[in-house]
Chains A and B, each alone.
Chain A
């Protein structure tokens, strides 16, 4: 096979893995502190829309990204209040967020953009890292991308450091494993959970910004297309660690990129089957790996002070 095709495939893998990685990092933040978040899908979708709208009206991509982050954070705050304050079943709360996202984006997309020609914004500029981008083979795969792809790679390592090498990370993990013990040691369980969930939501917001501002430059109905859920599978596959989740996201991203590539090659497999690849892979991975993968012990359980 042509070298250019292989390079293109791997570069596309990284691009396709980006929203999945961000979603998985968002999940890691939440679940490590003990809150399950299946609302990541909805957070992505809503911030994809608000980020796009903000960029469209302000003419600034940065404003768009800021609004997307804020949207993710706000929805996560809602999730946190429902789960922590009102002790709502966390999966139901996530479902509320997901349903709300469909309604809100559908409603305001019609209110704001209906009747006009489909508007678009310019996607974020492609950046070539000097020197590194010129390395043969590796350069074009790793170092010629748009900004959110780079940010995501940096975030993977940043989240790893925060979780495993800072006092905050230690507190987070303590709260996620044994909130009662953490509480006894004077850690404010609720505060840790609120902050982690909101930070996680902002990361999901960045994933939303990626979908509209970096990938296509416009908003499409239901464009998150299950990525928030695949991201959760990546989180599980990566054993709730940022680097592991990144690896899993790359695998799913590869499946997606391969589907895109094979569709271009037109080898006779209907595109619908290629489109199924990442979802099928997710199921296989979940079924194959779960017995050996243990979530944070207190994940999914509300904490009540005595």
Chain B
């Protein structure tokens, strides 16, 4: 039987990571289980706004007060995750003056420091702002990197003895004698650090208390325990721009509405968002009009957005909750407050607590209150220090000059690395010499990638979240293979291949909705490069048959290959299975060459299958690469028919 721990926290978003850190620091034995990567659900799909509280200053002053309080805490304890951009609520001529005043009064009432500036001053601070912006309220909004924040929380928890288990979905909540006693999880890819292609195993983790911090998924976990948690998931779209058109958070000062915020985030800007209730947090439509709406509406604030390059779009699902019976129609009216559901009191099922609602900015406060609750339940006495103890990386700021001088980094590389790594920069960057750049767009060096691999194993999406590698304008086109090759020393070839493919596909997925102009060119270039240099459109290594790599580059049979030239033309046509005319066009002048190398055996190729792929490769000899290149645009099943070609 598995040993019992104090607490299992389900959900590796900001709340779950915050809770597990808090509990671990209070000396409890805690385990965090997450079905994907850390931030896999909602946390990784937000616009990265560190609220000043201004957004809720009129509609929800309790939340607004909590936001400004936590805003100050995070600037301190999570300095390396926060960029103090400042924010503006801007008023256009058609926006209500009355609301502007209400907003101003609301902020003052919530102790949010504000300053009213005229349009000219606003444009001096943010030159891309529209010329008809009349005035603005300046307040201390900021940008926060949710990935780094969660990872730092988890890292601190681990330092304090917690176990962090990712890629481990909960398959059951264990209920014995009317009490929750633990969870059963499935290791999708093996326990511990991720290892691909190992059969999944399940594990029962028995615990004195279970915290359900799964946000929009809380209902699913509740269901496993037999309780009803009425989360009302609401989707919102966010569009990522290639560069920062603004360096300040820009909010539209109006009561509510879609597409009213631009958040500078690392090297990019994130446009947000919409608010639309969905049935299933896993399965909802992602539609292009939503992206169009973002760009069109926010161009009223920043005209340059209209022609600027978009990188990708993503949707997130808010874990909105309201107590049963409230019956709010419009999801934008549902409170942003958080709720702690004690299932012992509520459903007569002790041993489990669910936390829903809330927002990233107040994650620590939520974690504190749920940890207080859990400690109460377990009779554990300890004080919370998460508001004072800096997260790993935020102990002191990185020393930029040192990074440049000691590690020979180019200045922007040192700056971005220093910002990402915070006080860990020295340790991480000192590990590798030479330390080449692996991801150029975001200036991520080998040392940083290796550090992330050390933490996250072979899951390159987890490496991405830690480093931002592949999150720049090429969206992995020029670096997925380089990042993957950093795995090669430690992991076997198939693992590296899968990891690369997974990252590449993830990058592609997010670009589909915003694919025009420059990003379309980028996607085509990426595709062709990967197709022609790595056979991504039909990788022989993904076929069932063994690939005889030795047969390439004028391998064993290359000598006889050219001997028999007769019948080559028909051979090519037959081998290509009915695509003869296409081929003639594509192959152009190389038809003769093909004929010679294919020899008379091409007919056999057509008749047989992948089993003969090796021989094909042998006869094609050194020409295999060229063929792959020409075949670039074909569907991958064609490549399969072609065997080794």
Pairing of A with B: no
Q: Which A residues have a C-beta under 8 Å from some C-beta of B?
A: none
User: Which residues in B have some Cβ–Cβ distance to A below 8 Å?
Assistant: none
